[in-house]
Amino acid sequence: PGVQLPHDPEKKTLVVLGSGWGATSLLKSLDTTDYNVIVISPKNYFLFTPLLPSVAVGTLNPRSIIQPTRYVTRHKTRQVSVIEASATEVDPIAKTVKFADTSEIQGEVAETSIKYDYLVFAVGAEVQTFGIPGVKEHSCFMKELEDAEKMQRRFLDCLESAAFPGQSQDEVNRLLHMVVVGGGPTGVEVSGEIHDFLEEDLRSWYPELANSVRITLVEALPSVLPMFSKQLIDYTESTFKEAKIDILTKTMVKEIKEKSVVLQRPDKSIVEVPCGLVIWAAGNKLRKVTQDLMARLPQAQTNRRGVAVDAHLRMEGTDSIWAIGDCAATSYAPTAQVASQQGAYLARILAQIAKRDNLEVRLKTLQDGPQTEETKPEIASIERQLVKTEKLRPFHYSHQGSLAYIGSDKAIADLPFFNGNLATGGVATFLFWRSAYLSTLFSLRNRTLVATDWIKVKLFGRDVSRE
């Protein structure tokens, strides 16, 4: 009854959890004729995260930076099943995945499980709150598409409430104080985008409010952007100073209240600062499904940063699960660049494994049958080929550079260059940033949508209507 999953008993079943950077890159390169492929993800689309902060201030339309996963899979040689559901439990011994429809509308069946031969675990990470009171209730995250949409609505709500007649100047100042927590690339990019919105649009649409808008970036460490070179950190700090974005380093957010943030300053004193909006960009933590899976293999899985993998990205303690992207603990930063290279690598490994599996099946058939003068050379040849397929190349990451938008039509880039490093910042880098992101977008459709949004904003400004 209902939709049946394609199942060729001759092929192994490959289940892919996730539809983000790692999973999508894998799906793009995977030869789907080798496997029964099933993708399970609570989002039925791929989200181009680098441009998410641009959605939060209305520079880009939310739909311009997503691509339905079925757009990727429909071009594959063999049908791929895409299921919109969250994996809730992975059993590495029984080789099963339990998954549930967690969306608003559910049918009579909303939970089931599936057996896999091979599993690609690419569920990403979730927002780290450190259990700090009020973070979940009173701040906006910047991780999912709905986070950016929520921030845009709240931001515009703050502006309209500040414009309400009779508001005291103190209340206007509070409503227009935007606090960004976390000086990693996400926090820096969000601050830069809010600043652009202020300069390019608010000054025209809300001239009476524009001078009261304040942006504060709070970072617990001594500097923002620790992964960039010192020169680019300085450049970012001076650009922010010119843009009147206050950076508070060595300052820790201790609590978020409905109308304020509680900060611990470098001298350990505590201050409560009134604000209208808090954006929480304080990093990642593991998802529950990842923690639960790791807990099933306590001997092999002891790394608290994520799923421990071997040089071929295979989960330690298993023979049939690979972990890629932000959920895996490797020596690389949790970035889209790493996840997508791991996905492409895994597609090659899975092709090699499919070849090996097919050879093993053929070998068994030959060995179980009568040994003749004709079968003997074939058996010898298969045995030689099998030795070759046993040798899998380890994953090797090739760093293409770090790039971040910092507002005011400026971007920074640390690029590996002639065996050295090129650190550049400024307007030319901004144009490079735009073209680099345009070319990395997965489809012509998304490239067209994003480029059109940029042109629309240049011509008509951002849309300030609150949905």
Distance between CA 222 and CA 209 in Å, rounded?
32
Closer CB to ligand FAD, residue 33 or residue 103?
103
Token representation of residue 211: 């001078």
Cα-trace Rg, the chain: 25
Choose the contact partner of 52 out of ligand NAD, ligand FAD, none; CB within 5 to 8 A by kind.
ligand FAD
Mark residues 179-198: x for contact with ligand FAD by CB under 6 A, - for none: -------x------------
For ligand NAD, the binding residues in 398-417 under the rule CB under 6 A are 402-404
Considering only residues 421 to 460 of the shown chain, the ones binding ligand NAD according to CB under 6 A are none
Is residue 182 near ligand NAD by the rule CB under 6 A? Answer: yes
If you search the block for the tokens 């995945």, which residue do you land on?
97
How far is it, in rounded angstroms, from Cα 324 to Cα 23? 8
Q: Does 326 bind ligand FAD (CB under 6 A)?
A: yes
Do the beta carbons of residue 244 and residue 208 sit within 8 Å? no
State yes or no: residue 363 binds ligand FAD (CB under 6 A): no
Q: What is the 3-state secondary structure (H, E, C) of 362-377?
A: HHHHHHHCCCCCCHHH
Q: Where are the alpha helices (DSSP H) in 163-283?
A: 169-175, 185-197, 203-205, 207-210, 230-242
SS3 content of the chain, % helix, strand, coil (to 5): 40, 25, 35
By CB under 6 A, the count of residues binding ligand FAD is: 33
Min separation Cβ 333 and ligand NAD, Å:
4
- Residue 181, SS3 per DSSP: strand
Q: Work out whether 293 is an interface residue with ligand FAD (CB under 6 A).
A: no
Q: What span, in angstroms and rounded, lies between the C-alpha atoms of 406 and 425? A: 9
CB-nearer residue toward ligand NAD: 49 or 318: 49
Nearer to ligand FAD, 18 or 58 (CB): 18
Q: Please, what is the minimum distance in Å from the beta carbon of residue 426 to ligand NAD?
A: 16
Residue 330, binding choice from ligand NAD, ligand FAD, none, Cβ under 5 to 8 Å by partner class: none
Taking the least distance from each CB to ligand FAD, the nearer of 260 and 341 is: 341
Beta strands 45-47 and 140-141, pairing class: unpaired
Out of 11, 12, 18, 213, the residue judged to bind ligand FAD by CB under 6 A: 18
Site residues for ligand FAD, 119-178, by CB under 6 A, read 122-124, 142-143
Residue 289 touches which of ligand NAD, ligand FAD, none (Cβ within 5-8 Å per kind) = ligand FAD
Q: How far apart are CA 17 and CA 84, in angstroms?
A: 10
Task: Please state whether beta strands 260-264 and 252-256 pair in parallel, antiparallel, or not at all (unpaired).
Answer: antiparallel
Distance of CA 124 to the CA centre of its chain: 7
Which entry of ligand FAD, ligand NAD, none binds 12, CB below 5 to 8 A by partner kind? none
CB count in 10 Å sphere of residue 291: 15
The three-class DSSP label of residue 291 is helix
How many helices (H) and strands (E) the chain has is answered by: 15, 25
State in angstroms the smallest separation of the CB of 192 from ligand FAD.
Answer: 12
The window from 46-54, 209-217, 365-373, 424-432 that contacts ligand FAD (CB under 6 A) reads 46-54
Q: Which residues between 306 and 345 bind ligand NAD (CB under 6 A)?
A: 333-335
Of 18, 22, 134, 183, the one binding ligand NAD by CB under 6 A: 183
Which residue, 148 or 179, has its beta carbon nearer to ligand FAD? 148
Closest approach, Cβ 173 to ligand FAD, in A, equals 28
User: Token pair for residue 436?
Assistant: 């680099």
Q: CB-based burial of residue 53 (10 Å sphere; 0-12 exposed, 13-18 middle, 19+ buried)? A: buried
* Number of neighbours of residue 130 by Cβ within 10 angstroms: 10
Partner whose binding site includes residue 252, from ligand NAD, ligand FAD, none (CB under 5 to 8 Å by kind): ligand NAD
3-class DSSP assignment, residue 42: coil
Rounded Cα–Cα distance for residues 256 and 275 (Å): 10
Q: Choose which of 24, 25, 186, 301 interacts with ligand NAD (CB under 6 A).
A: 186
Q: Does 41 bind ligand FAD (CB under 6 A)?
A: yes
451 contact choice in ligand FAD, ligand NAD, none (CB below 5 to 8 Å, kind-dependent): none
Interface residues toward ligand NAD, by CB under 6 A: 50, 132, 181-187, 189, 218-221, 227, 252-253, 281-284, 333-335, 402-404
Interface residues toward ligand FAD, by CB under 6 A: 17-23, 40-43, 49-50, 52-53, 86-87, 122-124, 142-143, 186, 287, 289, 325-327, 334-337, 339
